[in-house]
Amino acid sequence: MKSFILLAFAALFTNNIAFAQIDNSVTVSAKIYGNCGMCKNSIEKAADKKKISKAIWDKDTKLANITYNSTKTSLDAVLKDIALAGYDNQSFLAPDDAYNKLPECCKYKRENKQPAVAQTLQPAPSSHENHEEHNQSKQDNTIKSTNQLTAVFDSYFTLKDALVKTDGNQASVKAKELKTAIEAVKMDKLGMDVHTVWMKLVNGLTEDAEHINETKDIAHQRDHFMRLSKNMYELMKVSKTSAPVYYQFCPMANNGKGANWLSREAGIKNPYYGAQMLTCGKTVETIQQ
């Protein structure tokens, strides 16, 4: 009898150990992107909170069984922690820097991440309403061309930012976006003057964007960025930009021959050296509208 009670106690005790880890537990299945066994470790580690939540992830189905204490946390809170570790999932996209820090084998395809669209243009100030008709159409033209080239300029600047950070992977991604933006430009909608310049530059622009996209070698990317920046400068000179753009020059780049780049900020952030010599250079021209 005695031993039976003891046994019962023991059973109860082990039972407790096995199931009392997470109270009020709820288990659900959630989609989490990832590739390999390393991802599995990181995902499960991110979800593992003592007595509060845990996850078991399957790399083939990309599904995780997430068990959590529903009075202490929520599914979204667990998924947020997983995303902060670098893994996109059904509710959250990982911060870009967290994704970039993942080991190479874990860099899954980011299916849920949507490409950026061109910004919707703000309504023009109504004080321009009474302009003469040809003035009006000219203005329309300018707006169209600006609108068309905005995406090109935007991706140039993000590419530049990636080079400032000496991030070859990111630069490659941004160069791809630049190439896409260049291809999306409808030449016939550009203003006359812009059209001419565009015709002259488009091949060079595309070529440099392609080269930067194809490699992750930062030195090679920076070589192409020199010519890309020169062409971009000519384009910006003729088309209209909404905010001032600064044409900047570092005398040390290009083996001491110097090289230029464009920036939306007056402060110097050198894309040819990055952190090595971040503030080397000066503004040589300010392009205003």
Q: Is 267 in the site for other proteins (CB under 8 A)?
A: yes
Which part of the chain contacts other proteins (CB under 8 A), choosing from 30-38, 56-64, 87-95, 250-258? Answer: 87-95
Closer residue to other proteins, CB minimum distance, 103 or 267: 267
Identify which range of 6-14, 184-192, 217-225, 259-267 contacts other proteins by CB under 8 A: 259-267
179 to 238, contacts with other proteins by CB under 8 A? none
Residue 52 or 198: which CB sits closer to other proteins? 52
Q: Which two tokens stand for residue 63?
A: 């599904």
| Among 50-58, 158-166, 225-233, 248-256, the segment contacting other proteins (CB under 8 A) | 158-166
- With a CB cutoff of 8 Å and minimum separation 6, the contacts of 18 are none
Dist CA 265 CA 183 (whole Å): 27
If binding is defined by CB under 8 A, does position 98 make contact with other proteins? Answer: yes
Q: Which of 68/198 has CB closer to other proteins?
A: 68
Considering only 130-138, 186-194, 202-210, 261-269, which stretch makes contact with other proteins by CB under 8 A? 261-269
Task: Work out which of 3, 61, 114, 288 binds other proteins, going by CB under 8 A.
Answer: 114
Task: Say whether residue 279 binds other proteins (CB under 8 A).
Answer: yes
Residue with smaller CB distance to other proteins, 85 or 236? 85
70 scored as a contact of other proteins (CB under 8 A): no
283 binds other proteins (CB under 8 A): no
What are the DSSP calls for 191-223, one per residue? -HHHHHHHHHHHHHHHHHHHHHHH---HHHHHH
User: Which of 14, 41, 70, 112 touches other proteins (CB under 8 A)?
Assistant: 112
Amino acid letter for position 172: S
From CA 143, how far away is CA 137, in angstroms rounded?
10
**Which range of residues in 38-46, 107-115, 130-138, 183-191 is near other proteins by CB under 8 A?**
107-115
Question: H-helix or E-strand containing 157?
Answer: helix 133-164
Rounded to whole angstroms, the Cα distance separating 106 from 270 reads: 30
Measured CA to CA in angstroms, residue 218 lies from 69, 143, 178, 247 at distances of 47, 35, 17, 22
The three-state secondary structure class of 21 is coil
Q: Please state, in angstroms and rounded to a whole number, the distance separating the CA atoms of residues 249 and 285.
A: 9
Taking residue 235's Cβ as centre, other Cβ atoms within 10 Å add up to 22
What are the two backbone dihedrals, phi and then psi, of residue 271, each rounded to the nearest 5 degrees?
-80, -10
The residue ranges of DSSP E strands in 137-256, in sequence order, are 245-250
Residue 241 tokens, joined: 């930009």
- Binding-site string for other proteins from residue 9 to residue 28, where x marks contact by CB under 8 A and - marks none: --------------------
265 touching other proteins, by CB under 8 A? yes
Query: Which residues make up the interface to other proteins (CB under 8 A)?
Result: 80, 83-84, 90-95, 97-98, 112-120, 122-123, 125-127, 161, 164-165, 243, 264-265, 267, 269, 278-279
